[in-house]
Amino acid sequence: MISAYPHPIVAKEGWPYVAATLGAALVATWLAGWWSVPFWLAALFVLQFFRDPPRRAPGDALSVVSPADGRIVAVETARDPYLKRDAIKVSVFMNVFNAHSNRSPVDGEVKKRWYNSGRFLNAALDKASSENERNALWLRTPGGADVTCVQIAGLVARRILCYVREGDVLARGQRFGFIRFGSRVEVYVPSDATLVAALGDKVHATSTVIAKLPRHA
């Protein structure tokens, strides 16, 4: 089990960026007075981008929660390219104004992790799923259901961070990674799962249920 990440409001990945932009804004204020406004706006943007609010997971062990903040841009039956099975795919697009911490969609053990280098197309495009840089986790729940969670880099996002390894155990909503500056996260659930979220829905990591696993899994 990886250690739980504390929630200091600002994600640990953002501390250097926040410090740098605040420092630049202070220097600009000292040198240029009101001309420093663009620097303060940049600092505020960085601060909101790296916010990392605490979240509570609703539902029960069969609930699949959103792994990211954003908007659902795809809900479809698809072939899971990692587990080679028919599945339901739910894709969440994160723009630069969403919180970018990635959370586990289910309680489960990390059975395998894959990393693929790739392009940096707009993450809102469907082909980003197969062509962009991405990191995938195979999670197996205590009930035996297999769920795949994929972090996908975007046009501006150039760094996928994932802190778990094979054998780690995650709780629903537990933080496992981060993607910098706009991206996409996809979840593949069993084909007999029940969808809760729909295309176009605005979702929040951990606190929005997107599907329910079959009880027999």
Tell the burial category of 31 from Cβ atoms under 10 Å away from its Cβ (0-12, 13-18, 19+): exposed
- Cα–Cα distance measured from residue 165 to residue 61, given in angstroms and rounded to the nearest whole number: 22
Active site residue 183: yes
Query: Could you tell me which residues are beta bridge partners of residue 160?
Result: 179
Structure tokens at 191: 């084909």
Within 10 angstroms of residue 12's Cβ, the number of other Cβ atoms is 15
CB 150 within 8 A of CB 141: no
- Cα–Cα distance measured from residue 125 to residue 184, given in angstroms and rounded to the nearest whole number: 10
Place of tokens 């706009």: 182
For the chain, the farthest-separated pair of C-alpha atoms sits apart, in whole angstroms, at 66
CB 157 within 8 A of CB 70: no
- Of 66, 183, 191, 207, which is the active-site residue? 183
* Cα-trace Rg, the chain: 18
- Cα–Cα distance measured from residue 2 to residue 19, given in angstroms and rounded to the nearest whole number: 27
Active site residue ranges: 183
